[in-house]
Amino acid sequence: MARILACIFLSVLCVCGLRSQNTDRPIVAIKCGKLIDGRSDKVRDGVTIIIEGNTVRSVGGSIPEGAKVIDLGSATVLPGLIDCHTHVLLQGDITNQDYDNQLLKESIPYRTIRGAVAAQAALRNGFTTIRDVETEGAMYADVDIKRAIVNGIIDGPRMFVSTRALDVTGAYPLLGYSWELHMPKGVQVVDGVDECRKAVREEVENGADWIKVYADRSYYFAPDGALHSILTFTFEELKAICDEAHKLHRKVAAHAIGIDGIENSLRAGVTTIEHGDGFTDELIALAKQKGAYWCPTLFVTEYVSEGRAAEGRPIYKQMLQHQREAFAKGVRAGVKIALGTDAGGFAWDVNEAVEFKRMVDAGMSPMQAIKASTSVAAELLEMSGKLGEIIPGALADIVAVQGDPLKDITVLEQVKFVMKDGKVYRNDIK
């Protein structure tokens, strides 16, 4: 009986605590010029959003008495943006030397500080949620940054993290050093089914929300015109990773660029294909059959193909047009495409919202591109109804721009208002 009474008492405390948390902040009414809710194709004019605590209470209707009013004038209001492919622990790697310097000359604490600044930049640019797909040699520091944000120590987006990516022996930097030196790697090296299973368990133990794998490398165009690659993991290894991840209620994101890596990944059971430059009609159909998502990362290919490394990696210039054509096929076929930028692969002083224009230029409508970073991205994260939409019951992640992104998608590169979890982090609306 004493135990039952104690449980009831604790339950009452929890309920009271939640009620207190919701009433600590005043009810907020956001007056919108235009509203794009992330799910509907319809744009609504003159709508008021009512926020209670960290949750959207209603969309439309009257303003409650005593509510704090935020008048955004003629601005267009959208759900907080979601970037499904970032690296906050990486600060651009357009040359091998840049990458090596980060792993060899910057301590993990120093890189973590820089990662925290990168996370703050993402939030300020309107990305209220990110999926960070590996730490590039910084071990589990992404979990620490995520925890610091959750605990209010630093500002930043909501994070879904992957900790250390998995790859096989001899396939990932640091490479090219004397065999006498045992150099660090940007990934966790695993070989064989047993090591693959154990690595997944280790990642989850240390805080991974997702498992990231490198499914291929060394891209080349074959005489058939297709973009091929060398596989890293065998099918059995990759399937073991997916099976173990799924058993532990985690999903797998696969870096796969050539048709070989894409097919191996899809058949093994990954949830997302990252980059996917070599997608063909047949592989797009397979992705749809498997229910997989595609994060194309268009801008970073352009960035690398035009950077200092392009002379040493001319394949990226060849891949650029191929990638855009594959993307257009994916859009027409209706494959599930979520916005991912690979920010960190390019410097964080570039606003990751530049990806929107590339997606529109390559074949998406502006509304499709917006949904790729809102409701579709939320589905990928299994957060439908909570993220990526402005509807009753969703978390109060809201951004605003001055202008109409359906007429000029680049206005999303100039977010003026940012709210995450009901808290305003930026308001430059004039």
Mean pLDDT score, 102-125: 97
Three-state secondary structure along 274-311? EECCCCCHHHHHHHHHHCCEEECCHHHHHHHHHCHHHH
Cβ neighbour number for residue 284 with a 10 Å cutoff: 22
Predicted confidence at residue 309, as pLDDT, reads 57
Helix (H) or strand (E) holding 423: strand 423-427
- Express each pLDDT in 201-212 by its tens digit: 999 999 999 999
| pLDDT value at 305 more than 90 | no
Distance CA 345, CA 34 (A): 34
Mean pLDDT score, 123-142: 98
Share of the chain above pLDDT 70, in %: 92
Average pLDDT, rounded, for the chain = 93
Predicted confidence at residue 311, as pLDDT, reads 58
Predicted confidence at residue 223, as pLDDT, reads 93
The answer to which of 66-75, 258-267, 298-307 has the lowest mean pLDDT is 298-307
CA torsion through residues 49, 52, 56, 60, sign: negative
Mean pLDDT score, 308-335: 85
Predicted confidence at residue 17, as pLDDT, reads 34
- Express each pLDDT in 17-47 by its tens digit: 333 334 477 899 999 999 999 999 999 999 9
Burial of 3 (0-12, 13-18, 19+ CB in 10 A): exposed
- Express each pLDDT in 49-100 by its tens digit: 999 999 999 999 899 999 999 999 999 999 999 999 999 999 997 666 789 9
| pLDDT value at 6 more than 70 | no
Cα distances (angstroms) measured from residue 14 to each of 9, 18, 19, 21, 416: 9, 6, 9, 10, 36
Instruction: Domains for the chain: give ranges and CATH numbers.
Output: 23-79+389-427 (2.30.40.10), 81-380 (3.20.20.140)
Predicted confidence at residue 1, as pLDDT, reads 40
Mean pLDDT score, 202-228: 96
Predicted confidence at residue 308, as pLDDT, reads 59
